Structure 1
Amino acid sequence: MTTRAEAPPSAPRELVESKLRSYARLGKLDVYDYYPSIAVALSAALAQEGRAVSAALPAAALFLLGSVFVIMSGTAFDDLTGYRDGSDTTNYGPDDPLRDKRRKPLVAGALTEREALGFAWLTAAAGAALWTAAVASAPHRSVWAVLVTVLLFAASVQYSYGLKISYHGFQEAFLCGLGVGLVLAPYGLATGSFSGFVLVQAVLFGFGPLMCGVCSNTNDIPGDRSVRRPTAACLLSPRGNAVFVGALAAAEFLLVAGASATGIAPWWFVLLMLPVTALRVRQYVIGFRGGDILRARRLGFRAHRVCFALLIAANLILAVEVAG
């Protein structure tokens, strides 16, 4: 049975939740959008020459569970750093009533710094153990796939802690790169091979969190600038930031179109992904023409979910063609 969290006197009663719920919020368990990477990887493995994936399922399950713990650790460290430097207090303060403070348990007073730090290290250890087990039990242990797994762990833990990657101008690259690695690593462990089309899919998967992140960064400019966190939104003018986000959306479409045009992807791939392009245009218009950044962020999550569903569909279509 969970107990009610002890909140400091300044914490409003409605922000006090059970410890278990507060830890789930700290680990952002409700934001699952990196985890379908395993389905993209396995469906891609199935599509390559009709390759059976049954032998890779135990390792894939371990990798997925490890991903959950590694990402929970990274988000916990991020919240801890944001609370300590004051940026989360600014971004979730009274000047932004639309943001639910319960999503930041430290700001809400539901968890202490010591509890958050312990949770971050415990989940990091669990994630490392599970990924080690995944590599050990995988059908293939390609050197590049193992190195990607190690890099993913090191970067995730130090996103906002230790080296503080996101505080040195690499936040946008990390958001995309994490998604790329979470597709490529399990694919390499399952097949022992590399594919240009799988790389395209991995980059497209990584674009999803990136396009949500640039909206969050646009909304978080005051807090990020106060701690000199150099996101593109902070470094550029409002117009420059809008151009940057628009260029990212255009690059996503050009990647799809280029892959189809060059034969890296099937000719029909660009047509299959048109719903994502349409959602991305709408996201940009709502956020950077209409000024509703948080709504644009929510639409970004929807676009990402449509994207990975279509990537899986593309792989299943190819698997049927190979089998036929």
Structure 2
Amino acid sequence: MTATEPVSGGVGAYARLAKLAFFDFYLSALVVWTLLGPHSRLTTRGLLVLSSLTLAWVMIVAATVAFDDVTGFRDGSDRRNYAPDQVALRSLRRKPLLVGEISVAAAVRFGYLTTLGAVVLLAAAYAIAPYRPGYVVGLMVVVVAVSVQYSYGLRLSYRRAQELVLFLSPALTVVIPTALLTGRLESRTLVEAVLFGLWSLLISVYSNLNDIEGDRLAGRKNVATTASPEGYRVFLVVLTAAELAVIVYGAMRVPVLAVALAPSAAVRGRQLYGWITASDALTARKLGINALRLGVAGLCVANLLTVG
């Protein structure tokens, strides 16, 4: 398929291109909503701001993964990483460019349109927010710029910045709305933002282990492709320990977090142990998704019990 071929895919193909089935990135909205005071959670203005921002995150992710698929299609890494022996855990239908449902030109156009949509939604959220700290504008620029250039433009994920982007963008989806809706950033907000960023990262760093050969051939420089197996094992241990340290720090101020996040921490331990003993990257990735969902549920319960 070339860039000049017509688009054959419908709404379903574009939904798969945007990875809409992977909704976990947007669970940050629940964390932010529970961080608000009880009297602020159901205000029309607050719900409009939070809804606009969440739709903006959807647009940013859609643009990011569309551009990533374009790059992966062009350099051949997606075809190598989605080999037939991976179909049990990784469906080829997640890559509409590979199966010929969408052309490269259409995917690029989709990426630019969703980026524009995200910018409009972010501007609207800022305009109607009850608080408008100036630094939030800078954070919005950062989250758009680094996300959409993950594999396109500056190609940050090819220049040793992949892990930084995968942590920073999710973390900012907690920071930005909380700042706009409360006018301040407390240590609790930063703790939960860091946790959400780490939880997102601890999905991708295991997935990357399955893509090492394809990514190396494509010239992608991340920790997985540049570190030794022993070095990467240390990297995973450090990330897991960092998550535990942040949980302990948060629990020192809000003790209920220790109980609320215990299920997530248990799954995280199973994820790391399972990888060290079995080296099954995609199963570890699935456990990372489960840990994130349990973690979000734990944060929401703790926030509802203690905020305000």
TM-score w.r.t. structure 2 length? 0.93
Q: Please say if residues 49 and 125 of structure 2, whose CA atoms lie closer than 8 Å, have aligned partners that are also in contact.
A: yes
The corresponding residue for 2:79 is 89
Amino acid at match of 1:66: A
Report the alpha carbon displacement of residue 242 of structure 1 after superposing the two structures with TM. 1.5
Report the alpha carbon displacement of residue 52 of structure 1 after superposing the two structures with TM. 5.4
The corresponding residue for 1:76 is 66
Amino acid at match of 1:133: A
Structure 1 counterpart SS, 2:160: coil
Question: For 1:63-100, what per-residue CA distance to the aligned partner results, in whole angstroms no more than 9, with x for missing partners?
Answer: 11111111101110111111111111111134544431
Note the 1:44-63 alignment, pairs <5 A: 44-46=35-37, 54=43, 55-63=45-53
RMSD (CA atoms):
1.8
Structure 2 gaps, min length 5: 3-7
Structure 2 counterpart SS, 1:46: coil
Alpha-carbon distance in structure 2 between the residues aligned to 1:53 and 1:250: 37
* Length, aligned pairs only: 302
* Matching residue within 188, 196, 200 for 1:205: 196
- Higher mean alpha-carbon deviation, 96-105 vs 175-184, is at 96-105
CA separation of 1:53/1:187 partners in 2, compared to 1, >3 Å: closer, same or farther? Answer: farther
Amino acid at match of 1:310: G
Report the alpha carbon displacement of residue 272 of structure 1 after superposing the two structures with TM. 2.1
Alpha-carbon distance in structure 2 between the residues aligned to 1:144 and 1:270: 32
* Matching residue within 122, 125, 134 for 1:143: 134
Structure 2 counterpart SS, 1:159: coil
The corresponding residue for 1:3 is none
Report the alpha carbon displacement of residue 38 of structure 1 after superposing the two structures with TM. 1.5
The corresponding residue for 2:278 is 290
Structure 1 counterpart SS, 2:251: helix
Amino acid at match of 2:249: G
The corresponding residue for 1:36 is 27
The corresponding residue for 2:114 is 123
- Higher mean alpha-carbon deviation, 26-35 vs 228-237, is at 228-237
- Higher mean alpha-carbon deviation, 95-104 vs 36-45, is at 95-104
Note the 1:1-324 alignment, pairs <5 A: 18-46=9-37, 54=43, 55-94=45-84, 96-98=86-88, 99-261=90-252, 265-319=253-307, 322=308
Q: Please say if residues 73 and 119 of structure 1, whose CA atoms lie closer than 8 Å, have aligned partners that are also in contact.
A: yes
Alpha-carbon distance in structure 1 between the residues aligned to 2:11 and 2:255: 48
Amino acid at match of 2:37: L
Question: For 1:13-50, what per-residue CA distance to the aligned partner results, in whole angstroms no more than 9, with x for missing partners?
Answer: xxxx9521111111000001111112211211227xx6
Alpha-carbon distance in structure 2 between the residues aligned to 1:41 and 1:144: 18
Q: Please say if residues 28 and 196 of structure 2, whose CA atoms lie closer than 8 Å, have aligned partners that are also in contact.
A: yes
Amino acid at match of 2:70: L
Alpha-carbon distance in structure 2 between the residues aligned to 1:269 and 1:302: 18
Q: Which runs of 4+ in 1 moved over 2 A?
A: 50-53, 93-99, 258-261
Alpha-carbon distance in structure 1 between the residues aligned to 2:145 and 2:278: 38
Q: Please say if residues 169 and 197 of structure 2, whose CA atoms lie closer than 8 Å, have aligned partners that are also in contact.
A: yes
Alpha-carbon distance in structure 2 between the residues aligned to 1:246 and 1:56: 39
Alpha-carbon distance in structure 2 between the residues aligned to 1:160 and 1:257: 35
Report the alpha carbon displacement of residue 51 of structure 1 after superposing the two structures with TM. 5.1
Amino acid at match of 1:111: I
Amino acid at match of 1:32: F
The corresponding residue for 1:4 is none
Q: Please say if residues 18 and 66 of structure 2, whose CA atoms lie closer than 8 Å, have aligned partners that are also in contact.
A: yes
Alpha-carbon distance in structure 2 between the residues aligned to 1:227 and 1:158: 17
Alpha-carbon distance in structure 2 between the residues aligned to 1:33 and 1:308: 9
Question: For 1:114-135, what per-residue CA distance to the aligned partner results, in whole angstroms no more than 9, with x for missing partners?
Answer: 1111111111111111111111
Q: Please say if residues 215 and 293 of structure 1, whose CA atoms lie closer than 8 Å, have aligned partners that are also in contact.
A: yes
Amino acid at match of 2:204: G
The corresponding residue for 1:13 is none
Question: For 1:179-217, what per-residue CA distance to the aligned partner results, in whole angstroms no more than 9, with x for missing partners?
Answer: 110000000010111101110000101112101100111
Structure 2 counterpart SS, 1:108: coil
Question: For 1:259-301, what per-residue CA distance to the aligned partner results, in whole angstroms no more than 9, with x for missing partners?
Answer: 333xxx3123223211111000111122232122111111110
